[in-house]
Amino acid sequence: MVETGVTFTRAYSSCPVCVPARYAMMTGQLPHRTDCTANEIMPEGRQSFMEILSQNGYQTHGVGKMHFTFAEQGAEALWGFESRGISEEGGGDDDFKRYLNENGYGHVHDPQEVRSEMYYIPQPYQTTSAL
């Protein structure tokens, strides 16, 4: 994939906290400008990059952990994505877990790894052979 795609050899996050980092990436505005600086409810009313793409005729689909935490729109907000494939760590059901079950990987109980004291240390991925 790297041979035909793009490789980021020096990628930096605008914030070490995940919700503000996603919010900054989606709005193009730094956390100190948006007042989104913690894993809390995100400020409403800012346009996302995906909304701009959608308004200009692009199809948009979000995949993975997004954690859009708007007070009024809730966690299911699309925020410019036409559709989303959700993959979250922890309990519950999501699109990725359903895909694994449908494709013979129902035995994998923690596909996004176990959230424990080892959470911030890279771990071997259980379904590497499926990728």
3-state helix, strand, coil in the chain (%, to 5): 25, 10, 65
Q: How far is CA 108 from the centre of its chain?
A: 21
What span, in angstroms and rounded, lies between the C-alpha atoms of 53 and 96?
25
Which residues have C-beta within 8 Å of that of residue 109, sequence separation ≥ 6? none
The pLDDT profile of the chain, 131 residues, written as one tens digit per residue, is 678 888 888 888 888 888 899 999 999 999 999 999 998 889 988 999 999 999 999 999 988 777 787 888 766 678 899 998 877 766 667 788 888 889 998 888 777 766 666 666 666 655 554 44
79 Rama class: left (phi>0) / alpha (psi -120 to 50) / beta:
left
> Cα(80)–Cα(50) distance, rounded to whole angstroms?
5
